[in-house]
Structure 1
Amino acid sequence: MVNWFLSLDPVIQALIGTLFTWLLTALGASLVFFFKTINKKVLDGMLGFAAGVMIAASFWSLLAPAIEMTEESSSIPSFIPALVGFLAGGAFLGIVDKIMPHLHRGASTDNAEGIKTSWQRSILLVLAITLHNIPEGLAVGVAFGAVAANLPSATIAGAVALAIGIGIQNFPEGAAVSIPLRREGVSRRKSFFYGQASGVVEPIAGVLGALAVIVMKPILPYALAFAAGAMIYVVVEELIPESQYEKHSDIATIGTLIGFAVMMTLDVALG
């Protein structure tokens, strides 16, 4: 099975990796068939966990390899691609955040962000999660694309570790979408559909990310840092504020520490 996966084209590997992350989103969303409500402390802990995973992945899986790649293959200072890509990723998500209509948990539809729309509250809530699944899928895709570039600092084990880490945090994320929708009166089937749909963007972003770095190898360090900047933007703009919304800051903080530790362990042990 392992040899079969290693023999695949990197774009196909990226597709499989991001389909795995989407599958775990769907599994998390399926909890709506068993629960109608979710404890707010548990939900805040889940959001904190997701934040911790994304922070750790941004450094160990993305920024550190970007710096190492530049040191190995370029005469420019190693921090420049990481710095430029990181800020560009944050700026990109900032622009998308201002354009894409979405709604944060606990906010009224009057406080929806992005372009004004008459879309239903459920759609706006799903789009808020979809927004930060874009950099997650991109990160996994770029990681697999980096392996195709045959750089020593890029390994298939590291890319797999990143996909596993993102997938793990997607499980509670799927539940964090579907169960609150059910509590608001949306049917179980629709709640599940919306919950899993928030992760569909990841395979799309993953394949595009892998294709981009394979076709344009020199942009690889920038692409890795770009994904890191986008993820950190999501953590600071979306996940941490939402995890603190119900005032369960201690639970959310513990969740963040655990998520960080899990992703760090995966990346160091497997990568």
Structure 2
Amino acid sequence: MVASPLVWTTLAGLSTGVGGVLAALCPPTRRLLAVSAGFAGGVMLAASLADLVPEALRFYGQYLPPLSCGAALVSLLACGMVAAAALGRLLPDEAALAGRLAGDEARTAALRTALITGTALLLHNFPEGVLTLFAGTADPALGVRTTLAIALHNIPEGLAVAVPFAYALRSRLGGVVAALISGLAEPVGAVLALWCLQGWFTPGFLNGTVVLVAGIMLWVALAQLMPSALLERDRVVGLVGVAAGVLAMLLGIAALP
């Protein structure tokens, strides 16, 4: 009975590979990298502010007065931002990566951006896998609709991960693989929820996790991706990427059941 929802969850997660394949159609260049950084930043801003936070706000608003609800959301977002800043310090810095890429500064910066972006989206995909599995278990028709909707907005996420990896590694296949790995967090999250952590996944816990992830994504977008996209030499194409990322993610959000 659980096998079918788990298959749907896996398909939803692996749809990030479609974004990776789309990214592989174009040779990775500096301008494409700026567009990609802006695109990823736009995707994360829209996903956080137009999807994750409003859903949690509606949930907590049922149980808390307005001021307490706002304070809870702000606290969780702040915790997510602090966690993202700490994560950035734990990942290898550009000096440590430079030796692996023959001192190429642009590729080194791209690789670090790719690692941070991929980690943030991997964390974002974890609760999505739980959502898809639970929806499919409760109602198969709802599970199929949820899978299709999440697969739709996983495609731009796959693009956002694949381009910087492809540029840094000089391998389009490497970008596709990175996009697929980020999507694997969805079936992994579903399996953990089913076998190990099922007692923890109450609606309150899941919504709290979603807001923490939103804080992580906001920090990554504002502190890592936007500065990379808006460098003076490529500012216009970076802004185009931001706009495209916001619009693409809003389209995906609109399709969610």
List gaps (5 residues or longer) in structure 2.
102-106
Residue 8 (structure 2) pairs with residue 20 (structure 1): no
Aligned equivalent of 1:187: none
1:133 is aligned, of 95, 118, 121, to 118
Q: What is the identity, as a one-letter code, of the residue corresponding to 2:186?
A: G
Residue deviations 1:126-183, cap 9 Å, x none? 35313222222332331342462899xxx7556753442232242264234324543x
Residue 163 (structure 2) pairs with residue 175 (structure 1): yes
1:88 is aligned, of 49, 73, 79, to 79
Q: How does 1:97-116 map to 2 (within 5 A)?
A: 97-103=88-94, 112=95, 116=96
Residue deviations 1:177-220, cap 9 Å, x none? 324543xxxxxxxx235323433542454345444575421311
TM-score scaled to structure 1, two decimals? 0.71
Residue 176 (structure 2) pairs with residue 196 (structure 1): yes
- 1:159 to 1:245, Cα distance in 2 relative to 1, 3 A: farther
- 1:80 to 1:166, Cα distance in 2 relative to 1, 3 A: farther
2:213 is aligned, of 227, 230, 240, to 227
Residue 36 (structure 2) pairs with residue 46 (structure 1): yes
Q: What is the identity, as a one-letter code, of the residue corresponding to 1:239?
A: L
How many pairs align?
Answer: 238
Q: What's the Cα RMSD here?
A: 3.4
List gaps (5 residues or longer) in structure 1.
104-111, 183-190
Percent identity for Structure 1 against Structure 2: 19
1-structure distance, mates of 2:162, 2:25: 9
User: Which has the larger helix fraction?
Assistant: 2
8 A contact 2:40–2:242 mirrored in 1: yes
8 A contact 2:113–2:225 mirrored in 1: no
Residue 237 (structure 2) pairs with residue 247 (structure 1): no
Aligned equivalent of 1:8: 4
